[in-house]
Amino acid sequence: MKRKKSERLFAKAQTLMPGGVNSPVRAFKAVGGNPLFIAKASGSKIYDADGNKFIDYVASWGPLILGHAHPRIVKAIARYAARGTSYGAPTELEIVMAEKVSKAIPSMETLRMVSSGTEAVMSAIRLARGYTGRNKIVKFEGCYHGHADSLLVKAGSGLLSLGIPECPGIVPELAKFTLNLPYNGAGEVRELFAREGGEIACVIVEPVAGNMGVVPPQPGFLKTLREVTRKSGTLLIFDEVITGFRLSLGGAQELYNIKPDLTCLGKIIGGGLPAGAYGGPRKIMESVAPLGPVYQAGTLSGNPLAMAAGIEMLNLMSKKKVYADLEKKSQKLCDGLRKNAETLGIPARFTRVGSMFSMFFTDKEIVDYASVKTSDTEMFKRYFNAMLEEGIYLAPSQFEAGFVSTAHTDEDIETTVSAAKRALKKAKTCNKMNR
């Protein structure tokens, strides 16, 4: 596969940006080699600077659920760009967006638009602390909620111990208020809340984990979170930055019928442009400035172009059969990938909820971060690169989710499954040769 242009661009990029990228996971560190520089994309395909074409399952890490450059979204952006790109003043578009989100996700009675998932989560955490007057927060190992300080915290020595900074620059005095529990650890949650529930401002959870690869909630896990938080006056925050409008129009909370206190959104609601949102019942959101004392602001919050793209996205996602179509294609893909691994006798586990999926090279049941970490990442690395050579673009990390879009055709799925069989064979053979 020709990569000269990408190599040249990457060399130049590295002289100007840390690691040559504007977000670390793009640097291909987990899979070796250098990142491809993408020149354009359309539908289910992306094209790199050397003209190589790929069937894309990254979807810009989730937002492009309708595929790239959807004509109706491109038209909406162009139409509003001609009217000016930002005013720093309220617009009708923000009302239309807020109405659509609140209608689709009724728990978000009122909401605030921001410009990223990180901003949505950071603001929701501050609101939870301000609203409850408590400092401690609970997150789950393997979940990622953006790069706000309180969320870049890993478990201390004992799992139930207070958090320690995940990287330099996080103040230890702040980190200690973040507690990490095992995802799907309903028992550990009950234990913690029995002991100190009254001190906990919020629990934040990916209702379907997507940042350690896809790990679905075990039966009863989300219900336990809802019960213990309600009992202790703790706010339950669903981080639906990935799952919002991905799993259903009402997100994971509709799918699992659990009503959180606050919801964070991102990715899909911007239609591929920078947007995020957080929201919940009026009585909580009334604490947010300028109504209440919890401050949060943003120059480009509710940006008209992002709103125009997001509104078009939500209009298109509201059409009948969209989710049924995504389910059918995603099932066909994962059934095919599973069959490949079985035929070749390669230990693999598959997880999928709707159109987000993962393949782990392990024979352990995938239920939490510990089980995910048993995956053979060297095997994934060989498989990822073999798939790239086959013209299939997967997320460059075992610990990310894959995404199917409405633009993926049956032919794309069939091409992917047969390519994956060859890639698996190659990855397995290389493994034998390296022994």
For the CB of residue 273, give the shortest distance to ligand KE4 in the complex, in Å.
11
The minimum distance between CB 143 and ligand KE4, in angstroms, equals: 7
Q: Which stretch binds ligand KE4 (CB under 6 A): 188-196, 204-212, 300-308, 426-434?
A: 204-212
Please, which residue, 368 or 390, has the CB nearer to ligand KE4? Answer: 368
Residue choice 10, 54, 57, 61 for contact with ligand KE4 (CB under 6 A): 61
Q: Is 63 a residue that touches ligand KE4 (CB under 6 A)? A: no
Q: Does the protein bind ligand KE4 through residue 239 (CB under 6 A)?
A: yes
Instruction: List binders of ligand KE4 among 84-123 (CB under 6 A).
Output: 116-118, 121
Nearer to ligand KE4, 146 or 217 (CB): 146
Is 87 catalytic? The answer is no
Selected from 312, 368, 390, 400, the binder of ligand KE4 by CB under 6 A is 400
Active-site hit among 45, 100, 136, 267:
267
Active site residue 239: yes
The residue count of the chain comes to 435
Q: Which of 242, 285, 317, 356 binds ligand KE4 (CB under 6 A)?
A: 242
Q: How far is CA 338 from CA 55, 350, 424, in A?
A: 19, 7, 11
Does 339 qualify as catalytic in the annotation?
A: no
Give φ, ψ of 259 to 5 degrees: -100, 110
Is 23 a binding residue for ligand KE4 by CB under 6 A? The answer is: yes
**Contact partners, residue 193, CB within 8 Å, separation at least 6:** 200, 228, 229, 231, 232, 234
Contact 134, 201 (CB under 8 A): yes
CB 140 within 8 A of CB 181: yes
Closer Cβ to ligand KE4, 60 or 415, answer by number: 60
DSSP-derived secondary structure letter, 180: E
Burial class of 188 by CB neighbour count within 10 A (0 to 12, 13 to 18, 19+):
middle
Q: Which of 211, 223, 215 is nearest to 256 (CA)?
A: 223
CB of 75 to ligand KE4, least distance (A): 24
Catalytic residue chosen out of the listed positions 48, 56, 239, 412: 239
Of 217 and 266, nearer to ligand KE4 (C-beta) is 266
Instruction: State in angstroms the smallest separation of the CB of 319 from ligand KE4.
Output: 25
Please work out the total of residues on this chain that contact ligand KE4, with binding judged by CB under 6 A. Answer: 18
Among 241, 258, 417, 423, binds ligand KE4 (CB under 6 A): 241
Pick the binder of ligand KE4 from 9, 13, 25, 387 (CB under 6 A).
25
The pair of structure tokens assigned to 246 is 């991905």
Question: Mask: binding to ligand KE4, 307-336, rule CB under 6 A, as x and -?
Answer: ------------------------------
Q: What residues pair up with 136 in beta bridges, in sequence order?
A: 200
Nearer to ligand KE4, 359 or 427 (CB): 359
DSSP H stretches of helix in 86-215:
92-104, 117-132, 172-175, 186-196
Nearer to ligand KE4, 266 or 310 (CB): 266
| Residue nearer to ligand KE4 on the CB measure, 206 or 312 | 206
φ/ψ (deg, to 5) at 54: -135, 145
Comparing C-alpha atoms, which of 377, 368, 379, 384 is closest to residue 432? 379
For ligand KE4, the closer CB: 205 or 346: 205
Q: Which two tokens stand for residue 25?
A: 């996971």
Stretch that binds ligand KE4, among 71-79, 153-161, 203-211, 360-368 (CB under 6 A): 203-211
What's the CA gap between 13 and 24, in Å, rounded? 13
- In SS3 terms, 257-294 reads as CCCCCEEEECHHHHCCCCCEEEEECHHHHCCECCCCCE
Least distance from C-beta 275 to ligand KE4, angstroms? Answer: 9
**Which run of H or of E encompasses 349?**
strand 349-353
Asked whether position 211 contacts ligand KE4 by CB under 6 A, the answer is yes
C-alpha distances in Å from residue 277, one per residue of 56, 214, 280, 428? 26, 23, 10, 43
Options 210, 217, 280, 396; binder of ligand KE4; rule CB under 6 A: 210
Residue 145 is a binding residue for ligand KE4 (CB under 6 A)? yes
Q: Rounded distance, CA 107 to CA 255, Å?
A: 14
What tokens were used for 154?
A: 């890993």
**Residues of this chain that bind ligand KE4 (CB under 6 A):** 23, 25, 61, 116-118, 121, 144-146, 206, 210-211, 239, 241-242, 266, 400
Q: Mind telling me the catalytic residues?
A: 144, 239, 267
